[in-house]
Structure 1
């Protein structure tokens, strides 16, 4: 199986072209990277760059609006739809909030759907940022579809049926987050994103080329993630770590402030947090438990119960 060139002291990218020409090899390379780092870099993902650029342009257009305009789209219940301003999200266990503002897009549900009590309708700022709905809505669908394919490879790596995850995430409370980290004029106690783990199943990230993303190694050191342009950075979230009894780790990561020569530049990225269906019971997979690896989570929990518990910890609920 072919692979893209290895990064210097980093994670070797896996070519998504192998998904169709050598699926077993792709599955092994991807799963091995997740098992080692909790992260993987996927090159040649095939999501059209021009459409990604349009979505990013819409995000930049929105974030450039006056604060009073953006606040029109801040919902009474924060965190899951619309705009979240600066000074809100704080990494679990941290005293200082992150230096970022963001926009959330979630899954559209039909009237009467059983999840509508906790998955509200999206809001769209097209009156102030024309084309936002079309461009950003498209990116949500593209990353959701890619997440399904990544989970196919993970399922095979875990020794499960290739389509095991399809029914577990088909209506999940998955979130596309458009992130804006502004320029950082001086040193201070706040950083762009404090050290944390993701709550969800897997996260698919576009826009990691701008330096700052770091992953905590097992020895406590920090590994910078600087992927080739146009790559996807994907990581395991706490829900999948729990399901697999830590066979796939949810690794601590952060976004540090830029070096002095880059302080005048903003950073934009678009993580897609893929979630289980709200009523999916996260119960340790039997083939991830043995005498050497006893079940860490003997009491199962639904995906939504787990999500709400964690959102409260980071001040988004």
Structure 2
């Protein structure tokens, strides 16, 4: 990036109601065109008209607040082994940058706590012998209403994710059922994240305290609900980090590595991180719920022929979604560097050389509010 020159960063806002309510072909084509442009240029989208009722979101946040208010010992009772992507994750027990093969200054240093739920084998009775622990049972806290509220939102977020893949198929000129074939027993996981510290704890956000390290998401598409609190930062094409907050009533949508591989990086799996703000020596509370729609564990990822030509040679070797996800999780949850993520780790290191870990951050142009 040239000194004194900044590329404007903007996360497009798209109304997807034409797909939710089965609008006209003209209306749907306009939405698909907007989504294609956003996926090419940013890799993040804000969507409204998604159809999730405010009461469902309120139920989710109430459930999150009830769980994360428990003392640490009670929460740790719901912890699972690293290979099982369910249950509770305490602060500073993961490092998302390792999922890209990048060593953080301090291993397992991401300061957030989380609770994961996902689709289990019983959710796909039409498929026999689904592998474990990919399709593990959930661990539900003994909190009144928690399972019901979280399950209600999980179902709605899944609906939105599948709506987005319908839009993706149209935007990429694929047959309408393309994604149905690779998502009929999708690895779907929702991670509820919580950033805060007990009152009176003095902290500084520096190299030793990262809310969530630089990473790309792993699968097809992510549906993110988040508080309107600063913290999420998205990497711009000029190597700068940009603060992004959701508009009123909007969900943030971003692409994962699987989609970037399918499209030969025509569409972007954009690097992002979380740097929650510190106010008067305390981290401001920030909550989010990320629904990861990753695809079938046995689906083979091969580059779409329409995305390969003499100017754009195939960048990736074929792999299954299960193999790809396993390598990423081994990095973030088990602390084993993912040496297969060559292209992604290069982008992380390039961003660090441009602005450093905490510099070069723009807020005004990167923040989207309605």
1:120 and 2:125 correspond: no
Task: State whether structure 2 residue 119 is matched by structure 1 residue 95.
Answer: no
The CA deviation at 1:295 is: 0.6
- Pick one of 121, 125, 148 that aligns with 1:134: 148
Map 1:105-184 to 2 at 5 A.
Answer: 105-110=117-122, 113-118=128-133, 119-125=135-141, 127=142, 129-183=143-197
- 1:241-256 aligned at under 5 Å gives the runs 241-256=260-275
Q: Could you tell me whether the CA contact under 8 Å between 2:182 and 2:296 is conserved in 1? A: yes
- Does the 8 Å CA contact 2:264/2:314 hold for their aligned counterparts? yes
* TM score, norm. by length of structure 1: 0.91
Aligned to 2:255: 236
Which secondary structure state, in structure 1, belongs to the residue aligned with residue 190 of structure 2? strand
What is the alpha-carbon distance in structure 2 between the residues aligned to residue 114 and residue 302 of structure 1? 17
Q: Is the 8 A contact 1:99 1:192 kept in 2?
A: yes
Which residue, out of 101, 108, 116, partners 1:104? 116
Structure 1: runs of 5 or more not aligned:
1-7
Q: Distance in 2 between matches of 1:78 and 1:241?
A: 25
Residues 206 and 230 in structure 1, CA contact (< 8 A), matched pair in contact too: no
Q: Does 1:186 align with 2:203?
A: yes
Say how many residue pairs are matched: 307
Matched, 1:309 2:327: yes
From 310, 318, 328, give the equivalent of 1:300: 318
Distance (whole Å) between structure 2 residues aligned to residue 78 and residue 103 of structure 1: 15
Kindly indicate whether the alpha-carbon contact (under 8 Å) linking 2:232 and 2:276 is maintained by their aligned counterparts in 1: no
Contact 1:199 1:238 in 2 (8 A): yes
**Match for residue 57 of structure 2?**
52
Report matched runs for 1:253-292 at 5 Å. Answer: 253-260=272-279, 263-292=282-311
Which runs of no fewer than 5 residues in structure 2 stay unpaired?
1-7, 336-370
Tell me the secondary structure at the aligned position of residue 121 of structure 2: coil
Cα displacement (A) at 1:159: 1.0
With a CA cutoff of 8 Å and minimum separation of 6, indicate the structure with the bigger relative contact order: 2
Among 80, 83, 92, the alignment partner of 2:85 is 80
1:75–1:83: 8 Å Cα contact kept in structure 2? yes
